[in-house]
Amino acid sequence: DAMVIQNPRYQVTQFGKPVTLSCSQTLNHNVMYWYQQKSSQAPKLLFHYYDKDFNNEADTPDNFQSRRPNTSFCFLDIRSPGLGDAAMYLCATSRDTGTGGNEQFFGPGTRLTVL
């Protein structure tokens, strides 16, 4: 089945210790997104890629970086996690960004705990 896969599902890290979250997709979609979602809040868009064209949201902290080495994979790097970065991180894909193609498909998420 075509899908969006995130690894790991649960990640525990120490304050200040870099961590990388991964996402892969078998949908062959052009667009990949990274969201941060805290409890009872809306998903907050961190980045998105249209193919290899990187788009950083204006209020995404410099502590967050992203890489998309190929169509299928995308990585989220948190260089120095703080306690406030504990959240669910959601990867999503869409075929396109325009009407008719911008339905987003989500992976299961990675829940990050910072000790």
Chain positions 42 to 101 lying near another protein, rule: CB under 8 A, are 42-45, 88, 90, 97-99
111 near another protein, rule: CB under 8 A: yes
**Cα 83 vs. chain centroid, distance in angstroms?**
18
- The total of other beta-carbon atoms located within 10 Å of residue 56's CB is 14
Instruction: Compute the distance between CA of residue 1 and CA of residue 68 in angstroms, rounded to an integer.
Output: 22
CB 69 within 8 A of CB 16: no
Candidates 17, 18, 102, 115; binder of another protein (CB under 8 A) is: 102
Number of residues that bind another protein (CB under 8 A): 20
22 near another protein, rule: CB under 8 A: no
Candidates 51, 53, 77, 103; binder of another protein (CB under 8 A) is: 103
